[in-house]
A and B are shown apart, each in its own frame.
Chain A
C-alpha cells in the first residue's frame, strides 16, 4: 500500500513510518509531496497532513491518532505517543524529558539524510531503540513492584 506525506519529515512522521512498516503494512511504500501541496497522488493514504484522517487531532500528534485509529493498545507504544506529543505539539504538562532530545535528533537525522525516504529508514533504528529501552524499563519497574 502507498502512504503519502509532506517532504521534510521529522519526529512524528519518522515514528509513523516506523509504526506503519512494523505493525500495519510491512510492504509500505512512502511518497512525499512538497509542503502545502495538493492534490495528492491517487490511491495513497495521507498521513500527518492537515485535515487528513491520520493527522493531528485534538492537540495530539499523528502517531497518537494512528494508535487510536488502528486500535493499538501496547502500553510501550502509548508511552512513545506521549513522548512525541511533547516533542511535536504544544503541551502544558511536560512529563517526558526525552521529548526535546528526540525532536532534535530526528531533525538532525533529516539534515544528514539525502532524502526523506532515507531519513525514514534511518529513523527506524531510533524508534526500535526507543521501544527496546522503554520496554526494558517497564519490565524492570514491573519486577520491582512484584518483589
Chain B
C-alpha cells in the first residue's frame, strides 16, 4: 500500500434530470466503472491521478450535455486518519472482487479466460495496488502453467 501525507482526491458532485433514466444510468455506470466511491449519497470520490482528473473532467462535460450540472474539485482531507479510512474503503472494495476470483480459482475447472478478464477490470480500479491483486495475478499465472513472475 502506498502512503503519502499529501494525497489528493478528485470530487465530483452532480445533478441530472430524472428523465430520461437512460442518461442517469449511463453516468452512474461510468462512475462505477471508474471505481469511484459515493460518500454520503452526495459526493463521488477518486484518488487524483492524471487519468482520474481527465476522466472526471470529461464526465463533467458529459453531464452538462445530458442536461445536468456538475462540479469538479480537487482536494485533500484535513483531519488526521480520515484519509487512511477512505483509502481502506477503496481497497476493501477491490479486495472483495479479487477474493471472488481467488474463490473461483478453487473450482475444479475454472474459466481462466473469464477470470483473467475480470482481473483486468478490477485492476483498472485498483488505485492503491492491492496485495490481494498481486496474489490473484500469481495464481492466474500458475493456473496457466506459466512462470510466476
Contact = CB atoms under 8 A, between A and B. Distances in A.
Residue of A51, A58, A90, A92 contacting most chain B CB atoms (<10 Å): A90
8 contacts: A50-B58, A56-B58, A56-B61, A59-B58, A59-B62, A90-B33, A90-B55, A92-B29
A115 interface: no
Interface in A56-107: 56-59, 89-90, 92
Interface residues of B, number: 14
B30 interface: yes
Interface of A: 8, 50-51, 55-59, 89-90, 92
A50 B60 contact: yes
Interface in B81-133: none
A59 B33 CA distance: 14
Contacts of A50: 57-58, 60-61
B65 interface: yes
Contacts of A59: 26, 30, 58, 62
B5 interface: no
A51 B61 contact: yes
Contact of A8 (B33, B34, B50, B61): B50
Contacts of B50: 8
Interface in B45-79: 50, 55, 57-62, 65
B61 A92 contact: no
A57 B61 CA distance: 8
A4 to B, nearest CB: 17
Contact of A90 (B30, B60, B61, B65): B30
A92 B32 CA distance: 11
Contacts of A51: 61
A119 B25 CA distance: 37
Contact of B58 (A8, A89, A92): A89
Pairs A-B, 3 closest by C-beta atoms: A90-B30, A56-B58, A50-B61
A57 B62 CA distance: 7
A8 B51 CA distance: 12
B57 A92 contact: no
Contact of B65 (A57, A89, A92): A57
Contacts of A57: 61, 65
Residue of B29, B34, B59, B61 contacting most chain A CB atoms (<10 Å): B61
